[in-house]
Homo-oligomer: A and B are copies of this chain.
C-alpha cells in the first residue's frame, strides 16, 4: 500500500494526521504540486483526476478522496475510531465533516486559488487545461470564511469537539482548514473563545505535526 502525498497541501495533511492518530505508518510518494507534477502524465496514470492524496493498494487499485481513504483505513486497520462509533455518531461525524469542507475548505480554496501568484491559470485543482482565476471569488470566499468561523464557534460552544464529545475526522478537517485560512491571512477571531480553546487543544496533539 502506497500513499501519494504532498507535504504542503491541506487535503493531504488531513490524511497524515489521521494516520498519526491511528498509529499507521505507510510508504509515501511525494508529489510536487508546485511543479505541477499532479497534472503530468506519470501521476495522471495513478489518479486521472490529478489530485492528491491517492492511496494505491498492492493490487494497483487506487482510492482517492480524503474521506474514502480514511474510511478504508478506519475499517481495515486497528486504532482508535475517528469516524464515529455507532450509526448516529457516524452520521453526525460525516455531516459535520462536510460542513467543514463546504463551509470552510471550499471558501478558503476559492480565496487562495483565485488570488495567489502562479495560479492565474490554475484556478481549479487537478484540472490540466488552463482555468482562469476569477477575482470576485476572493471577496465571496473571504465572507464565507468569516461565516465559517462563526459556525465553528457555535459548534464548539455546544461541545468540546466539532462533532460532539470525541475527537474525530471532523476536528482533523477543521484544524487543517483553519490553518489553511492562515495562508490567506484569515485568523480565528480572538473573541471566539470556544474555538480558541479547541484550536489550542487539537494543535497540541502530536498528530498535528504530521
Could you list which residues of chain A lie within 8 angstroms of chain B, going by C-beta atoms?
Answer: 48-49, 57, 61, 63-65, 67-69, 71-72, 75-76, 87-88, 90-92, 94-95, 98-99, 103, 123-124, 127, 129, 131-132, 134, 136-137, 140, 143-144, 147, 154
Contact = CB atoms under 8 A, between A and B. Distances in A.
A63 B48 contact: no
Contacts of A67: 94, 98
B131 A134 contact: no
Contact of A95 (B65, B90, B123, B134): B65
A71 B94 contact: yes
A68 B49 contact: no
A124 B129 CA distance: 26
Max chain B CB contacts within 10 Å: which of A63, A67, A76, A91?
A91
Contacts of A57: 88
Given A98-B67, A136-B134, A140-B134, A91 B103 contact: no
A68 B92 contact: yes
A87 B94 contact: no
Contacts of A87: 71-72, 75-76
Contacts of A143: 129, 131
Nearest to A125: B102
B154 A95 contact: no
A77 to B, nearest CB: 10
